[in-house]
Amino acid sequence: MSNPKLGLIGAGGLGREIRSLAERQYHFAGFYDDARQEAPWLGPLMAVEPAADIAFILAIGNPQTKKQVAGKLAGKNLSYANLVSQYSRVSPGALQGRGIVVCDGVVATVNCRFGHHVLLNLNATVGHDVVLGDYCSVMPGANISGSVTVGEATLIGSGAIVLQGLTLGANVRVGAGAVVTKDVPDNTTVVGVPARQM
C-alpha cells in the first residue's frame, strides 16, 4: 500500500486548508459534513464508518463544536490520525492524543503535551512544558509562553499571547490579539491588552 487514506470531518475553510496539508502525507479520501458538500463529499457526519484502511481528522476550528462532533461519533470507534506538517517543529512526545493537527510554521519546544483533537494553526508557537487539553484550538500566529496549562475546549485567537506560568481553564475564549497576563477561569472570554473578562 502506498499512502494511507485520510478522511476529513468538516468541509469548511479549515477543512479545505487541512486537505492541502493532508495530501502531502495521505491519499485524501474525502469530506464528511452535514452543511457543506465540498467535493469529494462522502456524506453527512453520521455516515462516517470505521475502516481498516482509513483514518480521520476533525477539521473543525471551534473547540465546542469539535467536542460535540467527537461525542456524536464516539460510539463508532473511528481511527484518528495525527497530522503534522513537515514545515513545523514539535518536541518529541508532545503528541499524546489522537487527531492532532499541526500546521505549517508551528514551533512547539520541549516537554509539551497535547491532548486529543488539538489544532495548532499556522505559525503558532508553544513554549516549554505547555499542556493543551483535548479539543483546544490555537489559531494562526498565537504565542503561548512556557509552563502554561490550558483546559479542554479552549480557543486561543489569532495573534494572542499567553504569558508564562499561567493556567487557562476549560471552555475559555481568548480574543484575537489579546495579551493574557493572569490566570483565566473556566467558561470565560477575555479580550484586549492586557486581557480582561468580557
128 is known as an active-site residue: yes
Clarify whether residues 33 and 15 are in a common domain.
yes
Question: Average pLDDT of the chain?
Answer: 95
**Domain for residue 117, yes or no?**
yes
**Domain for residue 196, yes or no?**
no
- What's residue 1's pLDDT? 42
- What's residue 52's pLDDT? 84
- What's residue 192's pLDDT? 98
- Give SS3 for 45: helix
Cβ-count burial 34-71 (b if 16+ within 10 Å, e if not): eeeebeeebeeeeebeeeeebbbbbbbbbbeebbebbe
pTM for the full model?
A: 0.95
Catalytic residue among 27, 116, 117, 128: 128
For residue 19, the enclosing domain spans: 5-76
Q: Between vectors from CA 117 to CA 66 and to CA 155, what angle results, nearest 5°?
A: 60
Clarify whether residues 53 and 107 are in a common domain.
no
φ and ψ of 192, to 5 deg: 95, 180
Clarify whether residues 185 and 105 are in a common domain.
yes
**Domain for residue 198, yes or no?**
no
- What's residue 51's pLDDT? 86
Q: pLDDT 10s digit of each residue in the chain, 198 long?
A: 456 899 999 999 999 999 999 999 999 999 999 998 889 999 998 899 998 889 999 999 999 999 999 999 999 999 999 999 999 999 989 999 999 999 999 999 999 999 999 999 999 999 999 999 999 999 999 999 999 999 999 999 999 999 999 999 999 999 999 999 999 999 999 999 999 998
Number of domains in the chain: 2
